[in-house]
Amino acid sequence: MKLTLEYDGTNFSGWQVQKEGRTVQGVLEEVLGRLLGERIRVVGAGRTDAGVHALGQVANFRTENPMPTERIERALDGLLPDDLAVREVAEVPPDFHARFSAKARRYRYNIYLRRRAVGRQYGWFVPYELDLRRMEKAAGAILGEHDFRAFCIASSAPKRPVCKVTEAGWSVGDGEVHFEVVADRFLHSMVRLLVGTMVEIGRGKLPVDAVEKALASGDRAFVGPSAPPCGLFLMEVMY
């Protein structure tokens, strides 16, 4: 079964089950287990960190229960907590894997240019003037296939740190700016480190070619601080 999910990550300790802390995977497995009467293991397309949100996370699980997908979807609507919702339940081939079958993922990061009371948990308030032209130029540097080891938490750097980015850019809204990026895969904290670096570039605290130099050298000296998780959304997973 394939699940398309949305969740507010504010009160979750991330996607992946942990020994302590409330997680999206943990809540899903507990609720599905009660509903289907068997132990359920859920696989997600992306392991979002604590505080990160999703509008289009995808997961899959196997079950021996013949309950129709429509009934599962309706039941989950009534059983899941308010900060986790299922948008769709669908049958998929046995070889479908939410993570390994994915071709690309889209993330969006929200930055607020004025302080907010309502919706503050869905964006990063940056109280500085930002030069969007510099930030857009920096975003252009990540297009294509690159080694992103400089934009990954060192303790979780994978053996293969190469990602192929097909879309990356900034847009301006009413009192806010947004960064959207599409890639075949993402490293741990990659988007947040990219955003944090580009904000420093927009403030004039880092040179406009800092992203390019970080990609070429793998040196974290060119990388800014990680943006907070509250502004990050997993928008969709493409298959």
Residues with Cβ within 8 Å of residue 51, at least 6 apart in sequence: 9, 10, 12, 228, 229, 230
38 in a structural domain:
yes
Q: Look at the block and give the residue holding tokens 């997993």.
A: 234
**What is the model's pLDDT at position 159?**
80
Q: Are residues 130 and 220 in the same domain?
A: yes
Q: pLDDT category, 155, cuts 50, 70, 90?
A: low
Q: Are residues 157 and 188 in the same domain?
A: yes
Q: Are residues 229 and 125 in the same domain?
A: yes
Q: At 204, list the tokens.
A: 């004039």
Q: How far separated are the first and last CA of the chain, in Å rounded?
A: 15
The active-site residue out of 8, 49, 77, 174 is 49
Residues with Cβ within 8 Å of residue 45, at least 6 apart in sequence: 57, 58, 59, 98, 99, 102, 105, 237
Q: Are residues 71 and 126 in the same domain?
A: no
Which of 41, 67, 90 represents a domain boundary (last residue)? 90
Q: What is the pLDDT of residues 210-230, one digit of tens each?
A: 999 999 999 999 999 999 999
Write out the DSSP string of 124-151: EE--S---HHHHHHHHHTT-EEEE-GGG
Q: Look at the block and give the residue holding tokens 């003037």.
A: 129
Q: Are residues 110 and 217 in the same domain?
A: yes
pTM of this structure = 0.95
Q: Are residues 130 and 233 in the same domain?
A: yes
Q: What is the pLDDT of residues 88-147, one digit of tens each?
A: 999 999 999 999 999 999 999 999 999 999 999 999 999 999 999 999 999 999 999 999
Query: In whole numbers, what is the pLDDT of the chain averaged over residues?
Result: 96
Q: Please give the residue range of the domain that contains residue 117.
A: 104-238
Q: Are residues 155 and 183 in the same domain?
A: yes
Which of 90, 113, 143 represents a domain boundary (last residue)? 90
Q: At 67, list the tokens.
A: 């309950």
Q: Are residues 112 and 79 in the same domain?
A: no
Which of 39, 64, 90 represents a domain boundary (last residue)? 90
- Domains identified in the chain, total number: 2
Residue 31 is classified by DSSP as H
13 in a structural domain:
yes
Q: Are residues 80 and 149 in the same domain?
A: no
Residue 79 sits in a domain whose CATH number is 3.30.70.580
Q: Are residues 56 and 130 in the same domain?
A: no
Angstrom CA distances, 159 to 154, 185, 222, stand at 12, 13, 21
Residue 139 sits in a domain whose CATH number is 3.30.70.660
d(CA 138, CA 66): 51
**What is the model's pLDDT at position 102?**
98
Q: Give catalytic status of residue 174 as yes or no.
A: no
